[in-house]
Structure 1
Amino acid sequence: MTLTLSHKDVENLTLTFTTEFAASVDRVWQVWEDPRQLERWWGPPTVPATFTKLEFSPEGDARYFMTMPDGSRAYGWWRILAVHAPHRLEFEDGFSDDSGEPVDSTDFATCAVTLETVENGTRMTLVNTFKSAEQLDEMMKMGMEEGMAEALGQIDAILAESSVSR
């Protein structure tokens, strides 16, 4: 995987990641739609994710938690807005309590994932859009940019495996 771009745009309230993989669009799509593959990379290596629910369809919900190095957990939720397999996924992402319910259903960011065929495989672009400069700044302080770069760095190993051996 090559992290070709990580760009914070305060004016447009976005944080964008662009990566390229030596795999087909269909194969890269699987790391999103299969919860067992998704949880192997959604989060940096030291903060693994566990998905307890993934309804991979428009208006579907996802619930997950990330286990911190000290054993504590941070909980999150997604509301899936659009699924256009295998090229586009859009979802809202926010913090939840330990039962999976949003802590504040109005405090979330939106993520748009686009997969496109390029010469050597697939380009995946994630555009995270925030509601305010303060929200973007808070996520940056929490290490989102570094954590997402580390998380994305785990996808190559998953893609190298046969899609049958999930």
Structure 2
Amino acid sequence: MKSSLLMNFSLDKENKKIKVEREFAAPVASVWAAWTESKILDQWWAPKPWQAKTKKMDFTEGGYWLYAMVGPDGTEHYARADYKSINPLKSFSAQDAFCDPDGNLNPTFPRSTWTNNFTTSSDKTLVSIEIQYDKLEDLETIIEMGFKEGFTAALENLDELFQS
């Protein structure tokens, strides 16, 4: 079933950014928790049939989230998000990168900086996401890897979580 909730995905190649606006039928406290608590992130972050598995999470400025995307065959791809700023229930930013199981960054893949803003209106919450890359080639690499499709599918998983 197609959702009637807002979903905008745009590329700003001139400024090396991906912009996503996504609305959820849930109060801001629930949406915030879904983005900042590992037990909830693990339930939706990976596009099916993949699963997210948190190895370590410290949601504080200077802390990080180390997690794996686990494929149906058990293959694990690790990433980490280093939290830069946190304004509870309003916004947070993190630097995202692929890494090994110990959290050591993989320099062959691009890093990005995510800024997530949470806005509430009545019974809905809008998450505005801006993903900044250092180089246009980095943004294009991520798009070629299927980021739009994978992230869209993950956000749909979050819709299902709020409906249950």
Using structure 2 for the length normalisation, give the TM-score.
0.91
Q: After TM superposition, what 4+ stretches of structure 1 lie above 3 angstroms from structure 2? A: none
1:146 alignment partner, one of 146, 149, 154: 149
Give, in angstroms, the shift of residue 62 of structure 1: 1.2
Q: Any residues of structure 2 matched to 1:2-151 within 5 Å, and which? A: 2-104=5-107, 107-151=110-154
Give, in angstroms, the shift of residue 40 of structure 1: 1.3
Structure 1, residues 100-155: CA drift from partner, whole Å, max 9, x if none? Answer: 21123994100011110124411111111111110000000100011000000111
Amino acid at match of 1:46: P
Q: 1:4 and 1:106, CA in 2 relative to 1: closer, same or farther beyond 3 A?
A: closer
Equivalent position SS for 1:57: coil
Q: Percent identity?
A: 26
Give, in angstroms, the shift of residue 69 of structure 1: 3.2
**Corresponding residue for residue 155 of structure 1:** 158
**Structure 2 unaligned residues grouped into runs of 5+:** none
Give, in angstroms, the shift of residue 91 of structure 1: 0.3
Distance 1:158 1:122 in 2: 14
More displaced stretch, 41-50 vs 51-60: 41-50
Structure 1, residues 66-106: CA drift from partner, whole Å, max 9, x if none? Answer: 01233211110111001111110100000101222112399
Amino acid at match of 1:99: D
Amino acid at match of 2:47: P
Distance 1:87 1:160 in 2: 23
Distance 1:50 1:106 in 2: 20
Amino acid at match of 2:85: A
Distance 1:72 1:22 in 2: 33
More displaced stretch, 108-117 vs 65-74: 65-74
Q: 1:143 and 1:132, CA in 2 relative to 1: closer, same or farther beyond 3 A?
A: same
